[in-house]
Structure formats: C-alpha cells, structure tokens
Amino acid sequence: MRKTMFLMVALLAATLAFSAAGLAADKEVKIGVLYPLTGGAAAAGRVLRAGAELAAEIANQQMSGIDMDMAKNAGVKSMGGAKIVLIVKDHQGNPQLGADLAKKLIKDDKVAGILGCYHSSVTKTVSAVCERYGVPMINGSSTSPALTTRDFKWFWRTTPHDKWFTKDLFELLIGLTEGKVKGVKAVPRQELNILAAACEKTEWGSHVSEEIKNFAGEYKFELAVNLLYAAKSPDLSSEVQSMIAPKPGAMLFASYASDAILMVKTLKSLKAKPKLIWGQDAGFDKPEFREMGADIEGILTRSVFLPSVARVKKVSGQVNELFKQKNGVDLDGASARSFTGLQTWVYVLEKAGSSDPKAIQKACNEITIPGDQLVVPWAGVKFENVGGETGQNVLGMGLIGQYQMQKDGKIGLEIVYPFNLATADMIYPIKGF
C-alpha cells in the first residue's frame, strides 16, 4: 500500500513538474537575431543589436514614459505575458554562415522566428532557409528590391527598399530645380543634369546601381558614370577619377562604412567639385563615418530615422532618449529599423496569440500597425502583395538628411526631404569640395 501511495505521489510530482516546465516554456518566445557583430560592418551590427534589445526590453516591461502599446503590457498579453527572448548570432557579413546559423536557430534553439540580417546578401540566404523550414522571418533593414519579388510565404520586410529610397533622391533633385528645398533658391537644371554613381559590387550595391540607372532615365538626367567597384577596396583613386572626369553636378554612392570613408577622403584629395553628394545610407549613416566631422559637412544620406524626427514626433523622442542613455549615441537609420523590426514581431505575436508558425503567418498577412506606434516617421506597417512584391510593408517612407554642424560644434543630420519635414535650410552647393 505504502509503495503504491509512494508511486502515486511521485507520479503526481512528476506531472506537476512537467506542467510547470511547460508553463514556463509558454511564458517566453524565442526570436533568433542575426546581425554582423564582427568584421567590416561590426559597428552597424552593434547598433542593430542595441535597437532590437531595447524594443524587447520595452515589450517585456511596463514603461509609462513610452507612448506605445507594447510598453504597457509587460510581455505578449495575448500569450499570458510571455517574454521576448532574443538569441543573437553573428553572421560576420557571410551569407553561408548566416544560412548555417539560421538552421541552428531553427533546429537547435527552436526559435519562433528570425529577425535580420542587415546585409541583403545574408538576408537572401537566411530567408531561403526560413522558407524551406516554414519559419517566419521579419526583415527590418535589408533594402535590395529583389528580396520581396521571390513569392516567399514566410518572409516580410518592414523597411522601404532601395527603389523607394532612390526615387526620393530624384524627387529631391527635381525639388532643387523647382525651388522646393528649404533655404535654397531654384537651381538651374544644367547644374545637376550630369550624374556619376559608384556602388559596391554586392547584392545590395548592384541593385542600387540598377535603380539609379532606371530613375536617371525616367527623370531625364544624364548618368555619365555608373560603375561597380570591389567592396572593401584598399584604393579607390581610379574609380573617383572616372567619376570626376565628366564634371558631374551630383555624385551618388552605395557603400558600407570603410568604403564610404575612403570615397570621401579620395574625393577631397583629388579635388572633386560636385554640387551634391548623396549616399544610400549604409556607410554614410554610421558612427565611424560621422567621426570625420567637418569633412562630411553638406553630404546627404538617405535614412528612415534621424534624431531630429523627435522634434515632430513625441514617441520618437522618448525612445531615442532611452536609447541614448543606454548606448551613448542617438538612434540612427539602422538601430531605428531594427527596433521597428522587433517591435513588429511583438505586435504580430500579440495578434497571433501563439508562437505557432501558421498563426504567425496569418497575423503577418493581416496586421496593420498604426504609425503613431512607431519611432520611424511612417504611416505604419502593413504587408501587402502588390506590383510583383510579396510581404512588403507599403506604409513606410524614407528621409534624406544632410550633415551640418550643430550648435555644440558636433556634426549632425538635419532633414531636408521630404520638404514638409525639413528641420533646417539645406547647404547647397556642398562646401569643401
């Protein structure tokens, strides 16, 4: 009898322990996060990780000073307050390594889904792994247009992509000729008519180059030079000389940090004299690029977030202040997009009420996140399948910022496009070139 009772008690204890373990497991949702934490893009990777980590922290706690719904729930409310757990991996900018890490996250760590990967080339391989295993992937910061033209069922992108961003540039050029830019009188078309472009020869850079070519034709500009160069080149003198030769009014670039810095130094050493320099985000919007100080005054970069957004959007200022307290720097285009990517994960899980892949897939395809919830100045997040694209957020928008000296003597970015959000007069023509 005693033996029977002992066995019954032991069985009950084991059952309760198993149930408790199951309950504990249900109280967290694991998201795999893939960013370049070492290598040439390590600085970008660190701020990307910091943006995602801050979003998870806000979602997991109650923060009365942040005006967004996820700051009120202390976890995923529809899942009993389940906490977001990030499992962060370093893909080093290597597409094959990214794919291998994605498999491990899915098979070994049993993640509910993946956020990443910054480099479009890595996002391409990782999303293919997710598609094969039927695991959701939300991409916040890769901008190759091709990523959403593959008819994938398990891939969604929150950020606008390079087609949108490049169109913004040409709208700015036209706006300059029509007197729409704050602080600049209408510029004669012939000053800007000749363009020269240099993009790194990668998945991302090649697509940017193609978009520049397409829009130059559409807007009737002469694209005199449109070259692809080897990424991480030790010397870019011949490329810059080729760009200088036709005496372009505007020079356009798609480069990561080390190349962006070398490009600017080479332009100055060879005494290039463009009226305007524009970078397609990436290296032109990174801390190490800003460390060049006065040497980059007047250079333009596209972005999706600038600290000056806080002047026109309260929640942006709230989150930026918290990010700055934790990391010592403002949010930038990379960290704001990774924040938004993880935030989208939180809202999708809230809508799904489950970590089941099919439930998440359904939530992604149906969700609309209002713009007032976001740090970025978008109308919101809504994924649609239009114009040959699948899983693309159609409510995003880009910004173009210009490096200008601030009152504290430091270099900072001011919004010059869209024209109605401009926070300062544009410097034109660019100084020091």
Whether 163-309+398-421 and 10-161+312-393 are alike in CATH topology: the answer is yes
Question: CB within 8 A of 258, min separation 6: which ones?
Answer: 40, 232, 283
pLDDT at 253 over 90: yes
Looking at residue 26, what is its pLDDT? 53
Average pLDDT, the chain: 91
pLDDT at 8 over 80: no
pLDDT at 237 over 80: yes
**Using CA atoms, how far apart are residues 99 and 275, in angstroms rounded to an integer?**
42
pLDDT at 19 over 80: no
**Using CA atoms, how far apart are residues 404 and 412, in angstroms rounded to an integer?**
6
Looking at residue 421, what is its pLDDT? 86
| Predicted confidence (pLDDT) per residue in 120-130, tens digit | 999 999 999 99
Residue 114 has φ and ψ, to the nearest 5°, of -130, 145
Looking at residue 9, what is its pLDDT? 39
Fold of 163-309+398-421: Rossmann fold (3.40.50)
Looking at residue 1, what is its pLDDT? 47
Lookup: tokens for 402:
């210009």
**Using CA atoms, how far apart are residues 299 and 277, in angstroms rounded to an integer?**
5
| Predicted confidence (pLDDT) per residue in 198-225, tens digit | 999 988 899 899 999 999 999 999 999 9
CB 92 within 8 A of CB 36: yes
CB 68 within 8 A of CB 58: yes
Of all residues in the chain, what percent carry a pLDDT higher than 70?
Answer: 94
Domain boundaries, the chain: 10-161+312-393, 163-309+398-421
Chain centroid to CA 242: how far? 31
How is the beta sheet containing 250-254 ordered, strand by strand? 222-229, 194-200, 250-254, 276-279, 300-303, 399-405, 411-417
| pLDDT interval class at 23 (50, 70, 90) | very low
Torsion over CA: 300, 277, 283, 94 (sign) = positive
Higher per-residue confidence, 12 vs 200? 200
Residue 210 has φ and ψ, to the nearest 5°, of -65, -40
CB 345 within 8 A of CB 369: no
Looking at residue 62, what is its pLDDT? 94
Q: What homologous superfamily is domain 10-161+312-393 in, according to CATH?
A: Response regulator (3.40.50.2300)
CB 94 within 8 A of CB 17: no
What is the average per-residue pLDDT within 240-258? 95
CB 353 within 8 A of CB 79: yes
